[in-house]
Chain A
Amino acid sequence: MSAASRISIVVVSGSLERLQMAAMMASVGAVSGNEVTVFLSMNALRHFMRSGGEAPPAEGPFGRLLLEKKAPGFKQLFHSAAELGDARIHPCSMAADVLGVGPDDLEPWLGEPLGLTKFLSDAQGGQVWSF
């Protein structure tokens, strides 16, 4: 296997297409031997509530097609990234504070809330993708 590289993924959008693409990158990246860290913030975080909550809206026709087809869901893919590829998926501590949510409110496979300083420090020298 080639040497592992570090991939950091920032997800701020709450749209279905962006969440799906971020989840695809995280899952395939993680199971291919990369160290993947995902940082969920802004409009993205509310779609990771344990209670389910509302489904993310589609930005355009492709998002609507995704819903019709048998594509794996974005949460399933993020979960697989963590379970099969040891990806670390963290809520942004600021977003968690603003939403008034804690680890008990969020999906159990998410890590502890992470601050930007730590995220940026971990991301240094690696690939950074934002959605």
Chain B
Amino acid sequence: MAERIVIDARGSFCPGPLMELIARLKFGAVGEEFEVLSTDKGSASDIPEWVRKVGHELLGTREEAGVWHIALRKTK
């Protein structure tokens, strides 16, 4: 299984983490998994909302020591 691509957006504010994710997704292959690391609480809810809206697969969201990990799979 391919390694999950980690996007370290810690320290950035909304919509920075989302835009960093989208910039990386654009060049990713269908089926690839991505994980965004964010310290921005708003992005922790906004990114899953965006993932659902555009139709990618949300794999999970968890918070660890003030860092949100948002995992998804590119579906198209």
Residues of A participating in the B interface, judged by any CB pair closer than 8 Å: 1-2, 24, 27-28, 31-33, 69-72, 77, 80, 84-85
Contacts and interface: CB of A to CB of B under 8 A. Distances in A.
B19 A80 contact: yes
Contacts of B54: 1, 32-33
A71 B16 contact: yes
The SS class assigned to the B binding surface is helix
The CB with the most chain B CB atoms within 10 A, among A24, A31, A32, is that of A31
A64 to B, nearest CB: 15
Nearest to A72: B16
B11 A72 contact: no
Interface string B11-32: 1111110110011001000000
Interface residues of B, number: 16
Contacts, number: 44
Nearest to A83: B23
Contacts of A72: 12-13, 15-16, 19
A60 to B, nearest CB: 17
Interface string B22-56: 11001000000000000000000010001001110
Contacts of B18: 28, 31
The CB with the most chain A CB atoms within 10 A, among B13, B19, B26, is that of B19
27 contacts: A1-B54, A1-B55, A24-B14, A27-B19, A28-B18, A28-B46, A28-B50, A31-B19, A31-B22, A31-B50, A32-B50, A32-B54, A33-B54, A69-B13, A70-B13, A71-B13, A72-B12, A72-B13, A72-B19, A77-B15, A77-B19, A80-B19, A80-B23, A84-B22, A84-B23, A84-B26, A85-B22
